[in-house]
Amino acid sequence: MVSIKRYEPQKEDILSAGIDIGTSTTKIVISKFSLMNMAGGMHMPRIEIINKEVLYRSPIYRTPLLTATKIDIKAVENIVKQEYAKAGIQPNDIRTGAVIITGETATKENAQEMVHTLSDNAGEFLVATAGPDLEGIIAAKGSGAYEYSKKTGKVIANIDIGGGTANVAVYKSGKLCGTCTLHIGGRLIEFNGEQIKSVSMPIKKLFQQWGTVLNIGDNRHIAVIQKLTDYMSAVIARMLKCELLSSDQPLILGHEPNWKEKIDGIMFSGGVGECIYRYENRSSGISQYDDIGEMLARSLKESKELSSWEWINPVETVRATVLGAGTQTTEISGATIHADSSDLPIRNLPVYEFDFDNNLFEGLKRLPTAFQNAVDLYDSQREGQNFSLYLTNLPYLGFRDVQQLAGGILDSIKAKPNPKQPLVIVLESDHAKVLGQTLQVQNPTQSIICIDQIRVDQGDYIDIGHLLQTNVVPVVIKTLTFHHQ
């Protein structure tokens, strides 16, 4: 009698960590991702994340600073070590996740050093830092706004207000419509007892415009502060309608709102969101800051302009960004990939999209110019900045077609100042393994990373993690600046 081995789906669990070092608070979340091959035994593997489970949430710490312009790196490291120990994990247990420095903290003089220190010592992190657009996107995923828009088909704006910034991301049916960031946050004016301790530069500029002077040592109950938080609420309402005024300019960080859709509902997260909804244990003291956060929350709740939208309760408030970073940033490549594990991980690789328009012959003629354009765009100083080539709309490829495509790519990389650096190719279709192997045969000395089943856009950045047991790689797609399609 012949025994038939029953097909067992391939499974793997990996741990993810999110570490968010914000203007006011620092927090950590540890999550577990369950990966499974969703294809049958006779089919091409298709590895998917089938479950995400939050294993541990740290308390919320005040972000430790040495001075107004410097993060206390040692103190942050100690917090991370202490919380890892409480969670019962070691740094080398972490396979993916994000260390992000958000809000005003990202402008501190040693912010980059902080990110690199944690990336080196706290595990296999992919995302190294978050620009304001990415911060808003991550927060919208952690707060529940992204899922709510997906479930209802509505246009939902998540407004994540922390100590230094309000990061807004608008979603419709789970698709990103646009982003905007404002200098609106709890710590833009801080108090020491009954006196004003500090006033941030954007607020000083706004007060100059108003002909108002606010001095260190003035009484915290001065009427102009209430006027300020009411004004901030009105600016948020105008921003949601894409109707900002020239007088609002001191509070705009980066680009203006860039969505075209009419917003159906709004959701607040971040520290100021916590002041609105009160999700956390009141005894934790996280809302008891000497700043304008509580006043701003009251102004938002009492705003007539903002009451015209449906208010949707978030899943998370002050923990939205760290949960989004720890559980929502990672995607999984296809299983038909070609990658030398010694070249991984790779971080912060810009994406250059090349559209074949379903015509291989014509596309190959345009490919050398595309490589030259990519070098001009991402490595204008010819310093060797690498990029990933994203190939879209490839036609059906036979054996000879794949050989032609590989030859065209290898000819075109001569435009790169450092052609020996890893050649990174991203594909939507399941061609990565055969293309990677063909490239390797044609040039055995060339380092090649070829991954598939990933969708990105021109202007995105990607991080590619270590090869997992299931022969896939975790990939983080970072939209650092969003352009409306």
pLDDT of 114 over the 90 cut: no
**Per-residue model confidence (pLDDT) at position 45:** 61
Helix (H) / strand (E) containing 385: none
Residue 445 CB burial class (10 angstroms; 0-12, 13-18, ≥19): exposed
DSSP string of 225-236, one letter each residue: HHHHHHHHHHHH
The CA distance from 458 to 479, in Å, is 9
Residue 361: strand, helix, or coil: helix
The CA distance from 165 to 159, in Å, is 10
The CA distance from 322 to 202, in Å, is 26
237 closest CA partner among 165, 134, 157: 157
Q: What is the pLDDT of residues 316-370, one digit of tens each?
A: 998 888 887 766 667 778 777 888 888 888 877 888 999 999 999 999 999 999 9
pLDDT of 481 over the 60 cut: no
Q: What is the pLDDT of residues 125-153, one digit of tens each?
A: 655 555 677 788 889 999 999 999 999 99
Cα distances (Å, whole numbers) of residue 295 to 25, 226, 358: 18, 7, 57
Average pLDDT over residues 10-19: 84
For residue 464, the cross-strand partners are 346, 475
pTM for this predicted structure: 0.76
Are 263 and 157 spatial neighbours (Cβ–Cβ below 8 Å)?
Answer: yes
Q: What is the pLDDT of residues 336-351, one digit of tens each?
A: 788 888 888 887 788 8
- Nearby residues of 392 by Cβ (< 8 Å), 6 or more positions away: 353, 354, 355, 356, 428
DSSP string of 267-327, one letter each residue: EEEHHHHHHHH--S-GGG-TT--SBSHHHHHHHHHH-TTGGGSEE---S-STTHHHHHHHH
134 vs 277, more confident: 277
Are 19 and 322 spatial neighbours (Cβ–Cβ below 8 Å)?
Answer: yes
Give the alpha-carbon dihedral of 442, 443, 444, 449, to 10 degrees: -100
The CA distance from 135 to 158, in Å, is 11
The CA distance from 444 to 448, in Å, is 10
**Per-residue model confidence (pLDDT) at position 283:** 44
Q: What is the pLDDT of residues 217-276, one digit of tens each?
A: 998 888 999 999 999 999 999 999 999 999 999 999 988 999 999 999 999 999 999 999
Cα distances (Å, whole numbers) of residue 296 to 141, 213, 342, 417: 23, 20, 50, 51
Are 352 and 467 spatial neighbours (Cβ–Cβ below 8 Å)?
Answer: no
Q: What is the pLDDT of residues 431-444, one digit of tens each?
A: 899 999 999 999 99
Rounded to 5°, the CA angle 60-65-69 comes to 130
Distance of CA 92 to the CA centre of its chain: 22
The CA distance from 312 to 294, in Å, is 20
158 vs 459, more confident: 158
Mean confidence (pLDDT) of the chain: 86
Are 322 and 83 spatial neighbours (Cβ–Cβ below 8 Å)?
Answer: no
349 closest CA partner among 412, 425, 455: 425
Complete domains list, the chain, with CATH: 11-130 (3.30.420.40), 133-319 (3.30.420), 336-469 (no CATH)
Are 306 and 300 spatial neighbours (Cβ–Cβ below 8 Å)?
Answer: yes
